[in-house]
Amino acid sequence: MKPPKRLEPLIESGLIDEVIHSLKSGKEAAVYVVRCDSAICCAKVYKEAEQRNFRQSVIYQEGRKVRNSRRARAMEKGSRYGRREQESAWQNSEVTALYRLADAGVRVPQPYNFIDGVLLMELVTDAEGNPAPRLNDLEMTAGQAKIYHAFLIEQIVRMLCAGLIHGDLSEFNVLIGSDGPVIIDLPQAVDAAGNNSARMMLERDVGNMAAYFGRFAPELLTTEYGREIWHLYKSGELYPETKLTGLFEDNSQPADLRSVMREIKAAREENEARQLYLKTVGTP
């Protein structure tokens, strides 16, 4: 096929030898199957901000650090330079997340290179070597649904142990490769320790998985993996090998405000009585 204009510089520089065909065009990027020397890879071409449907909501960007103070100030002001830098930071966040998660043992596409808004990475394939289907394109038995669900819960735990939450996980951004599910599309990945919405996003990701696989295995709809995972994480007891139950009981009881107020009143009266006594007999 005729190479898209955004890929021409990579062809001229020798990073890409051939654009084989278009794979998909999503809300944030267009993806192409390309040949790099003897390897078949994927090239993810990020769309310009005004062309995307997905908005860079501040809820995702909270907690992300920008080391260069000039860039940070420009991004806050929303100047032309700041918007360009914000766009670059948004794209780089996926590259950083992919390397970080791959190192942590999370099954994501292996990144190879990132240049001029184009990410070269592993092409996930099925058993026949064709581009892997998305999870939402498959029908499955209850048994297979439970196997895939358990694997993806394990991947979510590994991600959290590496300090990240996908933030937009659903059946539309999980591929089923020859060796099982692969998580994709991570530009909005959330810093678990620095984002006030981290718990909500984690529980939403887990809930999306339960809702999808629950179509095939309804017993998954009543599981509480999200709250269990977050509780263990906040308690410092979550590890990649942690065995989960899918059960969670919230033992926190609402405060008895009347009892608390009675105790405060009693303490105040006791203090006032003590002060009166000291005035009467003199301080010892």
Calculate the average pLDDT of the chain. Answer: 86
Residue 18 near residue 34, CB atoms below 8 Å: yes
Q: In this predicted structure, which of 53-57, 155-159, 181-185, 242-246 has the lowest mean pLDDT?
A: 53-57
Residue 165 near residue 190, CB atoms below 8 Å: yes
Q: With cut-offs at 50, 70 and 90, classify the pLDDT of residue 281.
A: low
The tens digit of pLDDT for each residue in 192-220 reads 999 999 999 999 999 999 999 999 999 99
Output 43 or 84, whichever has higher pLDDT.
43
Output 268 or 101, whichever has higher pLDDT.
101
Q: What pLDDT is recorded for position 249?
A: 85
As its CATH architecture, domain 5-234 has: Orthogonal Bundle (1.10)
Q: What is the pTM of this model?
A: 0.79
Q: Which long-range contacts (CB under 8 A, 24 or more apart) does 62-65 make?
A: 62/191, 62/194, 62/195, 62/196, 62/197, 63/190, 63/191, 63/193, 63/194, 63/195, 63/198, 64/89, 64/93, 64/191, 64/194, 65/194
Residue 23 near residue 131, CB atoms below 8 Å: yes
Which of 253, 251, 194, 208 has the alpha carbon at shortest distance from 228?
251
Domain spans of the chain, in order of start:
5-234, 256-284
Q: What pLDDT is recorded for position 284?
A: 44
Q: In this predicted structure, which of 153-167, 177-191, 247-261 has the lowest mean pLDDT?
A: 247-261
Beta strands in 117-173 (DSSP E): 118-122, 164-165
The tens digit of pLDDT for each residue in 12-33 reads 999 999 999 999 998 789 999 9
* Beta-carbon contacts of residue 133 (< 8 Å; ≥ 6 apart): 126, 175, 176
The tens digit of pLDDT for each residue in 32-81 reads 999 999 999 999 999 876 554 444 456 666 665 645 555 445 445 556 65
Q: What is the helix (H) or strand (E) element at residue 5, kind and residue range?
A: none
How many Å apart are CA 260 and CA 265, to the nearest integer?
9
Q: What pLDDT is recorded for position 26?
A: 80
How many Å apart are CA 145 and CA 110, to the nearest integer?
25
Q: What pLDDT is recorded for position 78?
A: 54
